[in-house]
Chains A and B, each alone.
Chain A
Amino acid sequence: MRCSCSGDQCYAPAKAMRQHALRWNATDAPASASVSPLQELGAYESLWMREGMTFAKMAKLFREEPEALPSDLAAAGRADEMAQKVLEILKAAGVSRFGVRINRAAEYPQKLRDAANPVEVLYFRGFWPLVETRAVAVVGTRHPSADGIRRTRRIARLLVKDGYTVVSGLATGVDTAAHVAALEEGGLTIAVIGTSLAACYPAENRDLQDKIASEHLVVSQVPVIRYSVQHAHQNRLFFPERNVTMSALTEATIIVEAGETSGTLIQARAALHQRRKLLILESCFQNKALTWPERFEKKGAIRVRDYDDIRRALG
Chain B
Amino acid sequence: MKFSKIDDLTRPQHHHLGKADVCYYLGEYTPRAGFSHSETNDIVQNFKKPVDRRGKPEWWYKEQAIQRIAQELRDSLNPAWLRTATLVPMPPSATKDDPKHDDRMVQVLAAMDRGAGFDIRELLIQTESTEPDHMVGESGHRLTPEERERLMSVDEALASPLPKHIGIFDDVLTNGSHFVAARRVLQRRFPRIEVIGIFFARREIV
Contact of A35 among B2, B8, B30, B78 (CB under 8 A): B2
* Identity of the chain B residue whose Cβ is nearest the Cβ of A37 in the assembled complex: B9
Q: How many residues of B contact A (CB 8 A)?
A: 38
Contact of B37 among A27, A38, A132 (CB under 8 A): A132
Bound: A133/B206 CA distance, A: 17
Contact of A100 among B9, B41, B196, B198 (CB under 8 A): B9
Bound: A99/B29 CA distance, A: 13
Docked-complex contact A28 and B81, CB < 8 angstroms: yes
Q: Chain B CB within 10 Å — which of A69, A100, A102, A127 has the most?
A: A127
Docked-complex contact A34 and B9, CB < 8 angstroms: no
Contact A105/B1 with A28-B80, A30-B77, A31-B77 known, Cβ cut-off 8 Å: yes
CB A13 to nearest CB in B, in angstroms, measures 19
Which residues, 1 to 54 on B, are CB-close (under 8 Å) to A? 1-5, 7-10, 24-28, 30, 32, 35-41
Contact A35/B3 with A29-B81, A132-B37 known, Cβ cut-off 8 Å: yes
Q: Which residues of A contact B196 (CB under 8 A)?
A: 30
Q: Cβ of B94 < 8 Å from any Cβ of A?
A: no
Contact A105/B2 with A31-B78, A132-B39 known, Cβ cut-off 8 Å: yes
CB A109 to nearest CB in B, in angstroms, measures 10
Q: How many residues of A contact B (CB 8 A)?
A: 33
| 15 A-B pairs with C-beta separation under 8 A | A24-B78, A27-B81, A31-B3, A31-B81, A34-B2, A34-B3, A34-B4, A35-B3, A35-B5, A38-B7, A38-B9, A107-B27, A127-B30, A128-B38, A132-B37
Write the residues of chain B forming the contact surface with A, with a CB cutoff of 8 angstroms. Answer: 1-5, 7-10, 24-28, 30, 32, 35-41, 76-78, 80-81, 84-85, 165, 167, 196, 198, 201-202, 204, 206
5 residue pairs, one from A and one from B, having the closest CB atoms: A129-B38, A31-B3, A38-B9, A34-B3, A36-B7
